[in-house]
Amino acid sequence: MTYEIDLVVKNAFVVTMNKNQPQAEAFAVNGGKIIAIGSNSEISKEYSNAKKVLDMKGKFLCPGFNDTHTHLLSMASKSKDVLLDKVLSPEEALEKIKERVKNTPKGKWVFGDRWDESNWEDKRYLTLTELDEIAPDNPLYIRRVCGHMAVVNSLGLKELEISWDEPDLEIDQETKKPTGVIASPLSHRVADNPKLKKTQDDLDEAIPIANELANSLGITSITDNLPIMCVKSYISARNKNQLTVRVNMNIPLDSFDHYLEAGLKSGFGDEILKLGGVKIFTDGSLGARTAKLYDPYFDDSSTSGDYYIEKEVLFETYQKAIDNNWQLVTHAIGDEAIDMVLDTFERINKPEIISVGRHRIEHAEYLLDEKLARANKLGIVLSMQPNFPGRWGRPGQLYEIRLGPEKYKLLNNFRKIIDSKARLSFGSDNMPLGPLYGIWSVVTHPIDDIKITVEEAIYHYTLDAAYSSFEENIKGSL
């Protein structure tokens, strides 16, 4: 070439996700964009005048991973909380919390996050009594990994102004005292309490942590589900050119009307930061037994989960979003909750408009064959988490405990979903964030209806992930 370009990458094993050229050895980059891809000889000859040449020495290279369901900034802002994702017992969790309490002034909150009793041999929740023993003078709020449940101590109940006669507070039937467990719908109500929220400064300071965490895992794009304070932090970082990850921002339903009043819609922004869809919850999680099922839970026949929204409210919200060109992003895990979503789209009865909207069901874990066929007919994007069956879907793990030895095998049937030609994007929900864990989860899974190939897993973390945010023409393939 007669002009100098920024970079040539050569001697790589490149998996492109481009069906017309599935593999390559080298490519050229200029101005932050790939301008050519091909063999070593082709690229070296055409772009001999490069500022930098990177020899990959045969290493694997693919498009940057796109995690289409995260809470990245929120996760980064909690990096100073007591993190319990690696503890192996309730006793170890209590010990970690106790150590933090010792170094916290009396009266100050202590926050914990990411505990998962399904990873413990003693598969039980922490209790109010235990928390009171280690923190008699500090309010505690210890959130489960799913985000749909927390445990608190007595001071925590007091500070949050939750009385013992609160109808949604879990009570021990023997002692008639609170267990300390806060589940839906109470957990969602108290989540907005200012005492539990991070400050704007906390969120602003978490941006570099979020960048580093995502990039260290090969993640170059995310969809983040986030409240207005996080939106402000992302906008501030974008204005200062501080983002090293592309961010698609899903907004919560409770602020939807404000965005509508401002004349905003899905896609507003640029290639680095833009608005995604409006996030709606129909149910909770299997771990918290709040995912809405038709049948009772195998390990607790007293419940079949909860609806988080009324059917008419969901219908009206869908109508409003579709009429105003907003993408719908609906959390639905249980089979009954998924039916509620599909029923609502079918009730609207605008198939041509719905299919081009690339509306998403988040998680869709209990997606049975008939529901899959309906979702495909509607053109729904299934935003799912391959890490879930690796963490909870093997024999003896959480899914089998919650649903029993046969029904748990019906969750996250990726083989069937891919074979049906569904639109499928992969994300993590931060459980954990790393795409390589998600790929391992589904490539090595013992259940045939879940197990897929490495190439398929990468595709749904890249090109089909880009489709979910209308960006398949600018990223997701090389």
Q: Which amino acid would we find at residue 48?
A: S
Residue 264 Cα distances to 251, 325, 326, angstroms = 12, 9, 9
Per-residue pLDDT reduced to its tens digit, 304-355? 999 999 999 999 999 999 999 999 999 999 999 999 999 999 999 999 899 9
Total count of residues recorded for the chain: 478
Q: Which residues contact 233 (CB under 8 A, 6 or more apart)?
A: 73, 200, 203, 204, 206, 207
Asked whether residue 90 falls in the same domain as residue 205, the answer is no
Tokens of 152: 């608190």
- Determine, yes or no, domain membership for 19: yes
**pLDDT digit string (tens) for 167-202?**
888 898 888 889 999 987 888 888 889 999 999 999
pLDDT averaged over 10-residue windows placed end to end, the chain, 478 residues: 83 95 96 94 93 96 98 94 95 97 96 93 94 97 91 95 88 89 86 90 97 98 96 98 98 96 97 98 96 98 96 98 97 98 97 95 98 98 98 96 98 98 98 96 97 98 98 96
| Residues 187 and 206 both lie in one domain | no
d(CA 428, CA 180): 28
87 and 56 Cβ atoms separated by less than 8 Å = no
Vertex 69: Cα angle to 249 and 17 (nearest 5): 100
The pLDDT assigned to 1 comes to 43
Strands 33-38 and 26-30: antiparallel
pLDDT at 229: 95
- Beta-carbon count within 10 A of 97 CB: 26
**Is residue 302 in some structural domain?**
yes
**Residue 368 shares a structural domain with residue 345:** yes
What CATH number does residue 250 fall under? Answer: 3.20.20.140
- Joined together, the tokens standing for residue 334 give 């249980």
Domain that holds residue 126: 79-196
323 and 452 assigned to the same domain: yes
- Residue 14's nearest CA partner among 4, 28, 3, 1 is 28
Helices (H), 349-448: 351-356, 369-378, 387-392, 398-403, 414-419, 435-443
pLDDT at 187: 84
Q: Quick check: is 70 in a domain?
A: no
Give a yes or no: residue 72 inside a domain. Answer: no
pLDDT in tens, 352-379: 899 999 999 999 999 999 999 999 999 9
Mean pLDDT of the chain: 95
| 163 and 217, same domain (yes or no) | no
